Structure 1
Amino acid sequence: MTIIALRRPSYVHSNNVCLANIAVLMCTYNGEAFLAEQLNSVEQQSHEHWSLIVSDDGSRDATPEILQAYADRWGNDRLKVVSGPGTGFVANFLSLTCRTDISADYFAWCDQDDIWNQDKLQVATHWLQTIPAHIPALYCGRTELISDIGATLGFSPLFSLPPHFSNALVQSIAGGNTMVFNSAARDLIVEAGSKIEVPSHDWWIYQLVTGAGGVVHYDAEPKMLYRQHDENLIGSNSSWAARLVRLKMIFQGRFYEWNNQNICALEAMEHCLREEHRATLKCFKNARSQTLFRRVSGFQSAGLYRQTVLGNLGLILAILLKKI
Structure 2
Amino acid sequence: MKQPKVLIMMSTYNGERYIKEQMDSLIAQVQVETQIYIRDDGSTDSTIEKLRPYVEAYPDRIHFRSEDNLGVIRSFFELIRSSPPTFDYYAFCDQDDVWEQDKLIRAVTLLKTKSSAIPLLYCSSTQMVDQHLNALGVWPKVPQKPLELHNALVENSCVGCTMVMNDITFNQVRSNLPSELSKVIMHDWWIFLYVTIFGEVIFDEQPGIQYRQHEGNVLGGGRDGWIQKWRKRVNRFVNGNNHYILSKQAKLFLDMYKYSLTHAQIEEIRNLLHCLEKNVIDRIWYAFKTPFYRQSLLDNIVLKLVIIAGKL
C-alpha distance in 2, partners of 1:173/1:39?
26
Among candidates 67, 71, 89, match of residue 51 of structure 2: 67
Paired residues of 1:280 and 1:302 also in contact (CA < 8 A)? no
Q: Deviations over 1:156-195 (max 9, x none)?
A: 2312222111001111112210101112212332212475
Partner of residue 259, structure 1 = 246
Please give the alpha-carbon distance, in whole angstroms, between the structure 2 residues aligned to 1:302 and 1:183. 34
Report the secondary structure of 2:23's partner residue: helix
Equivalent in the alignment of 2:133: 150
Q: Does 1:82 align with 2:62?
A: no
Contact 1:128 1:137 in 2 (8 A): yes
| 1:210 Cα deviation after fit | 1.6
Percent identity between matched residues is 30
Residue 121 of structure 2 corresponds to 138
- Matches of 1:23 and 1:263 in 2, distance apart? 29
Q: How far has the Cα of 1:244 moved from its partner?
A: 2.6
**Structure 1 residue matching 2:10: 3-state secondary structure:** strand
1:203 equivalent to 2:186? Answer: no
User: Would you say the 8 A contact 1:94–1:189 is kept in 2?
Assistant: no
Gapped regions of structure 1 (runs ≥ 5)? 1-15
1:236-247 to 2 correspondence within 5 Å? 236-240=221-225, 241-247=228-234
Say if 2:288 and 2:304, in contact at 8 Å, map to a contact too.
Answer: no
Whole-angstrom distance in 2 between the partners of 1:147 and 1:100: 32
Cα-Cα RMSD: 2.1
Equivalent residue, structure 2, for 1:5: none
Asked if residue 29 in structure 1 is aligned to residue 29 in structure 2, the reply is: no
Moved more, 179-188 or 98-107: 98-107
TM-score, normalised on structure 1?
0.87
Find the partner of 2:177 among 192, 212, 218: 192
Q: Give the aligned length.
A: 306
Cα contact 1:139–1:179 (8 A) shared by 2: yes
Match for residue 292 of structure 1 among 268, 280, 290: 280
Q: Distance in 2 between matches of 1:165 and 1:264?
A: 14
Deviation at 1:282, TM superposition (A): 1.2
**Native 8 Å contact 2:37 2:83 kept in 1:** no
Offset, 1:89: 0.3
Q: Distance in 2 between matches of 1:186 and 1:68?
A: 28
How many Å apart are 1:57 and its aligned residue?
A: 0.6
Q: Distance in 2 between matches of 1:71 and 1:128?
A: 30
How far apart are 1:29 and its partner, in Å?
0.7
Render the CA deviation track for 1:102-151: whole Å, top value 9, x for unaligned: 53111000000001111110111112223333311111121111111222
Name the SS for the 1:269 alignment partner: helix
Partner of 1:176: 160
Unaligned runs of 5+ in 2: none
